[in-house]
Amino acid sequence: MIQVTSAFDGGAITVQDASRADDIRLALRADVSADFSQWFYFRLAGVRDTELTVHLLNARASTYPGGWPGYRMVASHDQQHWFRVDTAFDGTRLSARHRSVADLIWFAYFEPYSQQRHAVLLAQAQLRPGTRVRTLGLSCKGRPIDVVETGVLDPAAPQVWVICRQHPGETMAEWFAEGLLDRLGDVADPVVTQLLRAARFHIVPNMNPDGSAMGNLRTNARGVDLNRAWVNASADASPEVFHVREAMLAHAPSIFLDVHGDEALPYVFVAGSEDQPHYTAAHRARDLRFKQLLTALSPDFQTVHGYPSGRFRPEMLAMASHWVADRFQCLSFTLEMPFKDNANLPDAAGGWNGARSRRLGAATVGAIHGSLLGQDS
């Protein structure tokens, strides 16, 4: 008898029929208060030495059906090591096959980032020299929205803002935050030493703790997509954005990164504000320099594939990177990592994963250093 459960941190699935191991019929569950679906995270029990076939029957009706071709589910027996499993999309349903070697196996859309790991991340950061953790406000459900601050206190110094996981199902964004914070804690790294003497960092590892706990793909507990709430952020319906925005107005960013995952594109890329009316040649040169630096520092980053530029529409200002670019005229990017893999540097066993997201976060410290302090030779 196989038991399918998802009543845990970040869990999400609907069970239709789990009576046969070779035909486990499941369905994606929508966000708790909104009609988005793509994220899944569930546990199977009673599956030792069992050939499993798991179907997500409603995959085609998900928010990003383009996310399924070429995608492989991740699974884990130990909650530490996550591996990819054979997965096929027939245009309607997503099906994965795997032989379970143990009693329990977890499946997820991407390597999860737990509330417990989030707590440890903050706990370790606060103990580093010159590093503070501050609660900017509370989420709809009363979870803290925490920012990690480190670097020089001079208010005239450049302020670097990095926010992660506005979309809670994009867990790679918090893995990225972990890599960024770990590198900033490395006192033997001269890039870090010089950067922290010249600039101050404000890092929000998880903008959407309610959505993360509830297993949502895109929204908070009130069903609000936070990355569409930056113009009309409200203390009531989108307090997560409201409080971070207030803090940002008090410490105006020189560099802003909003870290995400993209369901369909198998590449790491950034999306900027080049469509905005104010965008100048100087902005273009500044943005190009950042992209060149990150390209040199991480072979996982590239600038060939990404979102197409288009005509600016005022409603785009509801997105964080556009709102920040418009308000502060600073370097402002949405950074996207894949749910699938980096097609330029594929990893058959793991695809894109938490460890690679962490390395990218660490490499980004170098690009920020070069942007703020680098000399053209």
Q: Among 98, 243, 260, 356, which residue sits at the site for Zn ion (rule: CB under 5 A)?
A: 260
Rg (Cα) of the chain, in Å, rounded? 21
User: Does residue 322 belong to the site contacting Zn ion (CB under 5 A)?
Assistant: no
Minimum CB distance to Zn ion, residue 57 (Å): 25
DSSP 294-332: HHHH-TTB-SSSSPPP----GGGGGSHHHHHHHHH-SEE
Of 8-16, 160-168, 206-214, 338-346, the segment contacting Zn ion by CB under 5 A is 160-168
Residue 70 near residue 251, CB atoms below 8 Å:
no
> In Å, what is the CA distance from 217 to each residue of 164, 279, 350, 372?
14, 32, 21, 34
Q: What is the dihedral sign for C-alpha 345, 337, 295, 363?
A: negative
Amino acid identity, position 108: A
Which residues contact residue 142 at a Cβ distance below 8 angstroms, ignoring those fewer than 6 apart? none
**Residue number with CB closer to Zn ion (25 or 245):** 245
Residue 263 annotated as catalytic? no
Which residues contact residue 252 at a Cβ distance below 8 angstroms, ignoring those fewer than 6 apart? 159, 328, 330
**Residue number with CB closer to Zn ion (151 or 354):** 354
Instruction: Number of residues interacting with Zn ion: please give it, by CB under 5 A.
Output: 3
Minimum CB distance to Zn ion, residue 41 (Å): 17
Minimum CB distance to Zn ion, residue 260 (Å): 3
Say how far apart CA 36 and CA 274 lie, in whole Å.
Answer: 28
Say how far apart CA 313 and CA 233 lie, in whole Å.
Answer: 19
Of all residues in the shown chain, the one whose CB is closest to Zn ion is 260
Q: Among 29, 84, 165, 167, which residue sits at the site for Zn ion (rule: CB under 5 A)?
A: 167
Residues 115-154 as x/- pattern, contact with Zn ion by CB under 5 A: ----------------------------------------
Of 50-58, 252-260, 284-292, 321-329, the segment contacting Zn ion by CB under 5 A is 252-260
**Residue number with CB closer to Zn ion (199 or 335):** 335
Say how far apart CA 100 and CA 98 lie, in whole Å.
Answer: 6
| Mode of pairing for the β-strands spanning 269-271 and 331-338 | antiparallel
Considering only residues 295 to 314 of the shown chain, the ones binding Zn ion according to CB under 5 A are: none
**Residue number with CB closer to Zn ion (64 or 83):** 64
**Residue number with CB closer to Zn ion (146 or 170):** 170
**Residue number with CB closer to Zn ion (170 or 240):** 170
Among 149, 170, 263, 336, the active-site one is: 336
**Chain centroid to CA 39:** 13
Considering only residues 47 to 106 of the shown chain, the ones binding Zn ion according to CB under 5 A are: none
Report the catalytic residues.
336
Contacts to Zn ion by CB under 5 A: 167, 170, 260
